[in-house]
Amino acid sequence: MSESVLATLEGTGGPAEPLLRPGNGNCGGCGMSTALQFLGRAREARSIELVIPASCAAVAVGPFPYSALGVPTILTTFGSAAAVATGLSHAARLNGEGTRVVCWAGDGGTYDIGMASLSGAAERNEDILYVCYDNEIYGNTGGQRSSATPHGAATSNTLRGKVEQKKDILGIMAAHRIPYAASVSLAHPEDAIRKMRRALDMKGFRFLHVLAPCPTGWKSEPALGIELVRLAVRSGLFPVVEVIDGRRTTINVEPDFAEEALELYLSLQRRFQKSEIDAAALRPAIDRHWRDLRARSGRIVPADREG
């Protein structure tokens, strides 16, 4: 590949460059694509560098030397995103650059194999924004269970549905007392972009958890992804919150906990059908989680039900 050809392939990485370019390899309806578009909108003129461990995001970039991403990007080994980002962030800081180093990792690279390096970077309060796009499955390898897969979901290696509960990743990260940890709903774009901007502009370790619908793994309609997220939020299954310094918890979206929302959420995804898990079976765990959240937020009674 000649230098001139390479030069035409390389963008400037400036704000005019879209973050996710045409020609990326994501499936139709991929929640991670939507999340990347949100991040692209949130960053405006900020210069960012992406650190991507093995994941669908790594594959979506396309073959070398092309890149579907409009910013400097390094693909890392599976468990190393937060540690590689640490090195990049120190190099940027030593040279007085205002670059935001952003990890863009799936749930496998975050909840499982990347947990040690993630925890280490959070404990050291590295100047990194870590975004976990959580599609609740090892999507890139064809849909195996991860510790983010919810109870009852069938995967290619838990054919009758996963028996265990999903890890509380936001609780784990907040317990590191990092400056900022928040969950992001793709069905609530104003809240999502506000959080992304806030996280981009803070110093120290910031963590965002994005529920990213995966039509391929969830066995759902590609067009329904955003609606599924809305149902997950409404039902209380996916709390939309932010936690400052591991102490101050704010509930950003108050669910109505509608039974109908939870039932719809389950029925619109074939991954929940083999286990025959139903709303009634999931409700106690949701209630328990919300009791904890309310206690931590200091609001025992939901804001909109106060007298």
Partner 1 sequence: MSGQLLSANHAAAIGAALAGRANRTGRGFVSGVYPITPSTECMELLCNQEIEKGHVVRVESEHSAMAVCIGGAAGGARTFTTSSSNGLAFMAENVVAAALLRLPVVMVAANRTLGPPWNIWADHGDTLMLRDTGWIQMYCADNQEVLDTVLCAFRLAEDRRILLPALVCQEAFVLSHTMARTHVPTQDEVDRFLPPLDLPGRLVGTARIVGGLTVPQTTEVHRAQHHQAMGRFFEVYREVQDAFEAVFGRRPADPVVPYRADDADVLVVSMGTIGSTVERAVDVAREKGIRLGALRVRTFRPFPAELLAAAFRGRPRIAVIDRNVSLGFGGVLWGEARGLADPGAVVQGYMIGIGGGDVRPEHVLALAEDVASRQAAGAPVLMEAGA
**Which spans of this chain sit near partner 1 (rule: CB under 8 A)?**
10-13, 17, 47, 49, 51, 58-59, 61-67, 69-77, 79-80, 82-95, 97, 99, 116-117, 119-120, 123-124
The strand pair at 240-244 and 248-253 is best described as antiparallel
Question: How far apart (Å, rounded) are the C-alpha atoms in residues 77 and 55?
Answer: 10
* Distance of closest approach, residue 17 Cβ to partner 1, in angstroms: 6
Nearer to partner 1, 58 or 211 (CB): 58
Give the closest residue to 98 by CA, choosing from 194, 181, 202, 182. Answer: 202
CB of 80 to partner 1, least distance (A): 4
Alpha-helical regions (H) of 140-239: 169-174, 189-201, 215-218, 225-234
What residues contact 154, with CB distance under 8 A and at least 6 apart? 160, 161, 162, 271, 272, 273, 274, 275
Q: Which is nearer to partner 1, 69 or 129 (CB)?
A: 69
Least distance between partner 1 and beta carbon 45 (Å):
14
Distance of CA 294 to the CA centre of its chain: 23
8 Å CB contact between 70 and 11: yes
Task: Give the span between the Cα atoms of 100 and 140, in whole angstroms.
Answer: 26
Q: How far is the CB of 76 from partner 1 (least distance, A)?
A: 7
End-to-end CA distance of the chain: 69
Which residue lies nearer to partner 1 by CB, 76 or 149? 76
Q: How far is the CB of 10 from partner 1 (least distance, A)?
A: 5
Report residue 112 as tokens: 């499982």
Instruction: Decide whether 50 or 237 has the Cβ nearer to partner 1.
Output: 50
